[in-house]
Amino acid sequence: MSRDSYACVRIERPAAGIARMVLDRPDRLNALTWEMIDEVHDALGAVADDRSIRVLVLTGAGRGFCSGLDIKQRDDAVGSDDDVLTVYRRQERVAALALALRNLPQPVVAAVNGPAAGGGLALALAADVRVCAPEARFSVAFVRIGLSGGDVGVSHMLPRIVGFGIASELMLTGRPVDAEEALRIGLANRVVDRDRLDEAASEMASQISANSPFGVWMTKQLLHRNVDAPSLEAAIELENRTQTLATRTEDAREAMAAFREGRAADFRGR
């Protein structure tokens, strides 16, 4: 698959250091087909390999962010009539999207412009921060179509963002959460008017990209590792190693020089 052209994904470069990935099936609220899942994987690989990209903004075209797996793509979209190995491999492929986003060297800002359901919720949760329009709606959805509420990493990510009790309610009921509630429970970092969503997401991305690439990369890794650290001592040990490595970079020396000289640092990612 070419990394320059996709049928259902667009990669844009709105500003230096920032890439925007647009899920582009607006007629289906950007629901995921198996082919689209492959495109997203490929596009994320291209972003990961591009050192000029410091932050990725993830959003959806039209009225939706991502409405999850497109259950109309075939008569048996969930594969209940397929052999178990085929279904398991497809399940691994879609679930790996959460890992791909979490393991991306660059932070991910989700600009949630509308419904984020099922696998779409998982994509939003796998982002590092979520900026939402008032039209954003979040729902687990899986449990409402005869499946488990745990899919695409939601059972791991959601409790760590909103807490176990709220996550239990949302996963067991499958009820939707609007933007106002999402902000209140910590699922959304901020809510802005729809016509300011792209601007707000880009502003946050710019604030992140203004910092050194290595420092941002290590901070993302530390957050995801240490949220489950077995002890404070273990978390501090990882921090100590990371800080020591960071002092060896040219960007760290540039930051110290810029501070002494009262100017903005010119980070080069070295």
Q: Distance between CA 236 and CA 112 in Å, rounded?
A: 34
Alpha-carbon distances, residue 90 vs 38, 184, 187 (angstroms): 11, 35, 28
Q: What residue segments make up the domains of the chain, in order of their start?
A: 9-209, 213-261
Q: Which residues pair with 23 in a beta bridge?
A: 9, 60
CATH node for 9-209 = 3.90.226.10
Amino acid 264: pLDDT: 85
At 158, list the tokens.
């959601």
Amino acid 138: pLDDT: 97
Closest alpha carbon to 19 in 45, 62, 54, 67:
54
pLDDT in tens, the chain (270 residues): 345 579 999 999 999 999 999 999 999 999 999 999 999 999 999 999 999 999 999 999 999 999 999 887 765 566 667 888 988 998 999 999 999 999 999 999 999 999 999 999 999 999 999 999 999 999 998 888 888 888 999 999 999 999 999 999 999 999 999 999 999 999 999 999 999 999 999 999 999 999 999 999 999 999 999 999 999 999 999 999 999 999 899 888 888 888 888 888 888 878
Sign of the four-CA dihedral 229, 231, 234, 235: positive
Q: Which strands make up the sheet holding 18-23, listed edge to edge?
A: 9-15, 18-23, 55-60, 108-112, 129-132, 190-191
| Helix-strand-coil split of the chain, %, nearest 5 | 50, 15, 35
Q: Distance between CA 10 and CA 158 in Å, rounded?
A: 27
Q: Are 206 and 157 in contact (CB under 8 A)?
A: no
Alpha-helical runs (H) found in the chain: 34-49, 84-103, 119-126, 154-162, 164-173, 179-185, 197-209, 213-226, 232-246, 250-261
Closest alpha carbon to 188 in 137, 130, 139, 133:
130
Amino acid 250: pLDDT: 87
